Amino acid sequence: MGLNLKKEDTILVLTGKEKGKKGRVLRIDREKNRVVAEQINIIKKHMKPNRQHTQGGIIDMEAPIHISNVMLICTRCSKPTRIGNVKLESGKKVRVCKKCKEVMD
């Protein structure tokens, strides 16, 4: 499966309880085909006190969502779109929006 997402991309959730929400990509796990997005798929986790969470307790955090359940939002046309790969004249390979043909990189 081609993982055409990168960190800081804006995505739209297509299925599940978070359907229709937009968020920014924080992390991508290429081995498990999962993506963690900002304010999407929030879970509650019980944490012991440690250096990051000195008090401990129940914290809210983003859980990963499968990459097939999200779609990239084009920066120019602001619509969810599929991504194509095109080689420029300079030899560089870039991502292209399938709807507006705009270079995304």
pLDDT by residue (tens digit) across 1-59?
557 899 999 999 999 999 999 999 999 999 999 999 999 999 999 999 999 888 889 99
Looking up residue 33, the CATH number of its domain turns out to be 2.30.30.30
Do 104 and 65 share a structural domain? no
Q: pTM of the full predicted structure? A: 0.84
Do 98 and 66 share a structural domain? no
pLDDT tens track for 46-98: 999 999 888 889 999 999 999 999 999 998 999 999 999 999 999 999 999 99
Q: Rounded to an integer, what is the distance from CA 72 to the centroid of its chain? A: 7
* List of E strands, 1-105: 10-13, 22-29, 34-37, 42-47, 57-62, 65-66, 70-73, 80-81, 83-87, 93-97
Do 43 and 27 share a structural domain? yes
Partners of 10 in the beta sheet? 24
How many domains does the chain fold into? 2
Do 87 and 40 share a structural domain? no
What letter would DSSP give residue 13? E
Do 45 and 8 share a structural domain? yes
- Which position has the higher pLDDT, 105 or 51? 51
Do 40 and 1 share a structural domain? yes
Do 19 and 68 share a structural domain? yes
Do 101 and 69 share a structural domain? no
Partners of 97 in the beta sheet? 83
Task: Check: CB of residue 73 under 8 Å from CB of residue 10.
Answer: yes
Of residues 43, 31, 34, the one with CA closest to residue 13: 34
Partners of 34 in the beta sheet? 29, 66
* Domain region containing 29: 1-50+58-73
Do 85 and 63 share a structural domain? no
